[in-house]
Amino acid sequence: MKYLVCDDSKMARKMLIKALKALVGENIEIVEASNGQEAVDLYTQISPEVTFMDLTMPIMSGFEAVKIICEKNKDAKIIVASADIQEGSMAKAKANGALGFIKKPVNEENLKPVLQKLKVL
């Protein structure tokens, strides 16, 4: 299974990947992006089953990246992983196509229910 993890913070990406591997197993393919534009480009190239997206990033925000990816693939499974869980931000991300939200920092405890909801765990 392929996963795309997009966050401008290398530490946040590492924490999410660590939790993901602990829950799903080591034998998964994970590709990392550090901004929304990279995420859009990589999504097109690798077609991941699940994408994790931060919202506040340079070059292209997660909001924009989610919208573009979902316009290209209406079945895209995108989970927002962000410290910004204000109702307005969550509503905008959902309107753009995100399927769920995880409040940072991501760990096994808050990641597991989201993976179960997506039926990938």
Q: Tell me what pLDDT residue 85 has.
A: 77
Residues 6+ apart with CB under 8 A from 36: 6, 53, 57, 59, 60, 61, 62, 64, 65
Per-residue pLDDT averaged across 4-22, rounded? 97
CATH number at residue 56: 3.40.50.2300
Residues 6+ apart with CB under 8 A from 17: 5, 30, 32
| Domain coverage including residue 82 | 2-110
Q: Domain for residue 6, yes or no?
A: yes
- The pTM score is 0.96
Q: How many domains does the chain have?
A: 1
Q: Domain for residue 117, yes or no?
A: no
